[in-house]
């Protein structure tokens, strides 16, 4: 499998000069949320077009809504505290090393999710 294959396994990562939401993830979601009419426009020979352009504005809105819902669900299911709670706790001088390192990890994970949500908000604004 190459970086350009459509697949169901993705990760959010912060790298220099790359978007937090990869084109591959967007392309995969474009395919997943397609209506029957939209699906009729694509076949194996032109599927890679999903990597470089949107299907249409309605499809892209469905993609962004699905991605936002997945991220919000991830926040609700995976974490019992908010980013703000963790940041406040991190400021405490009453942490042992294990607690401090755990909080650094949690804060980093939550910041990645928050950055992805901001990216989605920006993408929605560009669709209007």
CATH number for the domain harbouring residue 31: 3.90.1420.10
pLDDT exceeds 50 at position 1: no
Q: Please indicate, yes or no, if residue 28 is contained in any of the structural domains.
A: yes
Q: Are 14 and 20 in contact (CB under 8 A)?
A: yes
Q: Please indicate, yes or no, if residue 52 is contained in any of the structural domains.
A: yes
Global pTM reads 0.83
**Number of compact structural domains in the chain:** 1
pLDDT at 55: 95
pLDDT at 2: 47
Q: Are 57 and 30 in contact (CB under 8 A)?
A: no
pLDDT exceeds 90 at position 117: yes
Task: List the structure tokens of 100.
Answer: 């401090």
Note down the domain range covering 113. Answer: 23-127
Q: Please indicate, yes or no, if residue 48 is contained in any of the structural domains.
A: yes
Q: Please indicate, yes or no, if residue 119 is contained in any of the structural domains.
A: yes
CB neighbourhood size of 15 (10 A): 8
Q: Please indicate, yes or no, if residue 32 is contained in any of the structural domains.
A: yes
Q: Please indicate, yes or no, if residue 42 is contained in any of the structural domains.
A: yes
Read off the pLDDT band of 93 (50, 70, 90): confident
User: Whole-angstrom Cα distance, residue 53 to residue 85?
Assistant: 39
Residues in contact with 117: Cβ distance below 8 Å, sequence separation at least 6, in sequence order: 68, 71, 72
Mean pLDDT of 44-70: 93
Read off the pLDDT band of 9 (50, 70, 90): low
pLDDT exceeds 80 at position 6: no
Q: Please indicate, yes or no, if residue 36 is contained in any of the structural domains.
A: yes
pLDDT at 128: 75
What's the start-to-end Cα distance of the chain, in Å? 35
């Amino acid at each position: 499998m190459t970086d350009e294959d459509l697949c169901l396994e993705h990760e959010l990562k912060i790298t220099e000069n790359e978007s937090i939401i990869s084109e591959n993830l967007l392309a995969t979601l474009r395919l997943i949320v397609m209506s029957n009419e939209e699906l009729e426009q694509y076949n194996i020979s032109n599927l890679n077009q999903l990597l470089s352009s949107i299907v249409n504005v309605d499809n892209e809105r469905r993609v962004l809504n699905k991605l936002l819902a997945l991220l919000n669900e991830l926040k609700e299911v995976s974490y019992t505290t908010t980013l703000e709670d963790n940041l406040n706790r991190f400021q405490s001088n009453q942490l042992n090393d294990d607690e401090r390192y755990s909080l650094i990890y949690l804060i980093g994970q939550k910041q990645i999710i928050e950055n992805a949500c901001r990216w989605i908000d920006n993408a929605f604004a560009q669709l209007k």
